[in-house]
Chains A and B, each alone.
Chain A
């Protein structure tokens, strides 16, 4: 006996065929409901995978760093000597190298990034010329880092070597300076594109008020646009910084891979990322490998924090 709730379609005639059809339709609906439940659960599981991945990354990094954390303690981070052959591990050369290259790259790239942002956001938002520039900047971000490294090795490094002999510094070519230069180029698009969209968002009535008071173009930019987008530009710079910190290949190829503390910017060095790339497969002792992983853990935490701060700043800016 079919109760009415099991008959999805109206049974207009109660002929046996009609009832059979209705029963079949009901069975289909029940099958669909079961599949729907499975599907909904699968969606949630796929979402959970993202959480599991992040937690897994953190957990793996921590667990694999434990041997080094236990053996070396916190002073690992500021110890100055890295000599795996003698079983001496100190991360300071790499922390310093990372800081030097990243900040130097930022300092070099910021004027260019901000200029692009102001040009595209303020002076020339539409037209074929800005489109060309926008595409060119996106292209800079699209070029693989290993190609930057190769070009750097083949072209930039010899030039830097010439510069170094002119300056009376040891002419190695590779070093913190070359790495910072390449990094600066690679990192330009990030602050530029974020900065552009922030500058675009400046409400025109604010600018018009300034123009109405007789301000020049530059004065409007300096006193209205830039202060308004201060936090957005800051977030863009953070984004570029996060990218610079994690960049591996181009840096590895031109930084000289030295574990000594760089004496000046022309000296060779290593960043956290580049030393991991170079020595990971050669780390034959557990503490050696673990010390490298600990660097990876520091890198992970620092980049995550910087990216999160940047995102927070952007969210707050766009929601105001």
Chain B
């Protein structure tokens, strides 16, 4: 297996006439945590949503260029296949309100009509919930609906739901911006453990978070990928002026 799992070459994305992602070239290495940061409106979330082809769901949204997963262009496959390999966790926790916690974790199988043996289902649920450090907290309430869970627990449930699909990459769209500080740090701790089995790409508007959790960081500004480097270097010795200004808080 090559060490680069996702490559973008000349990638652009627009909303109608509004060109929001401009000519992005990036190599994302396997089993790393990549933070994508930048001020509001810089295109980071749009770029993320292009990776698993969620961007095109918006009427009028277009994209061009190459987005390669394991050397295959994601835009030449059917989106369903892409999303089976690249999972996503959203900004607001969104477990399915009409399903129990158990069913939420295996939603990717159950709602797709995939019949698994009970033993297999139980294994996946326990395994996924353990991976997100939620198993002990909910193992006695698996059949209840998740509405009693806290925001942080709900978000971890959503991560478990994504993990249960055994994707290669998991995309995180500002996953802790709606959570309290304690839940935030619980989720951030998860990233380190998940790294062993998945590649994580985390969009964040909180650069301290980017500095804390990631191996490499990409800095977007006004739609362009301005700088992309190892996190340590990025934050101590950035090469671009704009990165320098962002990090020192000249604009946010």
Any A CB within 8 A of the CB of B78: yes
B84→A9 contact, CB < 8 A: yes
Any A CB within 8 A of the CB of B80: yes
Any B CB within 8 A of the CB of A28: yes
The A interface, classified by DSSP as helix, strand, loop or mixed, is helix
A5: which of B72, B114, B165, B167 is its contact (CB, 8 Å)?
Answer: B72
Chain B residues with CB below 8 A from A28, complex form: 112-114
Chain A residues with CB below 8 A from B168, complex form: 10
Nearest B residue to A33 via CB reads B78
Any A CB within 8 A of the CB of B119: no
Any A CB within 8 A of the CB of B224: no
A32→B80 contact, CB < 8 A: yes
The digit string for B65-79, where 1 denotes a CB below 8 A from any CB of A, is 000001010001110
B17 to chain A, nearest CB (A): 24
Separation of A33 and B114 alpha carbons in the complex (Å):
15
Q: A4-B70, A28-B114 are in contact. Are A12 and B81 (CB under 8 A)?
A: no
B70→A10 contact, CB < 8 A: no
B85→A8 contact, CB < 8 A: yes
B72: which of A4, A32, A33 is its contact (CB, 8 Å)?
Answer: A4
B78→A10 contact, CB < 8 A: no
A8→B81 contact, CB < 8 A: yes
Most buried by B among A4, A28, A32: A4
Nearest B residue to A9 via CB reads B166
Any B CB within 8 A of the CB of A29: yes
A10→B80 contact, CB < 8 A: no
Nearest A residue to B84 via CB reads A8
A5-45 residues at the B interface, CB under 8 angstroms? 5-6, 8-10, 12, 25, 28-29, 32-33
A29→B84 contact, CB < 8 A: yes
Chain A residues with CB below 8 A from B166, complex form: 9-10, 12
Separation of A10 and B169 alpha carbons in the complex (Å):
10
Separation of A87 and B223 alpha carbons in the complex (Å):
78
Separation of A9 and B84 alpha carbons in the complex (Å):
7
Chain A residues with CB below 8 A from B167, complex form: 10
B144-176 residues at the A interface, CB under 8 angstroms? 165-168
Separation of A239 and B70 alpha carbons in the complex (Å):
62
Separation of A253 and B114 alpha carbons in the complex (Å):
61
Separation of A6 and B77 alpha carbons in the complex (Å):
9
A36 to chain B, nearest CB (A): 8
Chain A residues with CB below 8 A from B78, complex form: 29, 33
B77→A5 contact, CB < 8 A: yes
Chain A residues with CB below 8 A from B81, complex form: 5-6, 8, 29
Chain B residues with CB below 8 A from A4, complex form: 70, 72
A249 to chain B, nearest CB (A): 43
Nearest A residue to B71 via CB reads A4
The digit string for B50-88, where 1 denotes a CB below 8 A from any CB of A, is 000000000000000000001010001110110011000
B72→A29 contact, CB < 8 A: no
Most buried by A among B78, B80, B81, B165: B81
Q: Across chains A and B, which 9 residue pairs bring their CB atoms closest together, nearest first?
A: A8-B84, A10-B166, A5-B77, A5-B72, A29-B80, A8-B81, A4-B70, A33-B78, A9-B166
Identify 10 new A-B residue pairs, CB closer than 8 A, beyond the known A4-B72, A28-B112.
A3-B72, A8-B84, A8-B85, A9-B84, A9-B85, A9-B166, A10-B166, A25-B114, A29-B80, A33-B80
22 A-B residue pairs with CB within 8 Å: A3-B72, A4-B70, A4-B72, A5-B72, A5-B77, A5-B81, A8-B85, A9-B84, A9-B165, A9-B166, A10-B85, A10-B166, A10-B168, A25-B114, A28-B114, A29-B78, A29-B80, A29-B84, A32-B80, A32-B112, A33-B78, A33-B80
Q: Which chain A residues have a beta carbon within 8 Å of chain B's beta carbons?
A: 3-6, 8-10, 12, 25, 28-29, 32-33
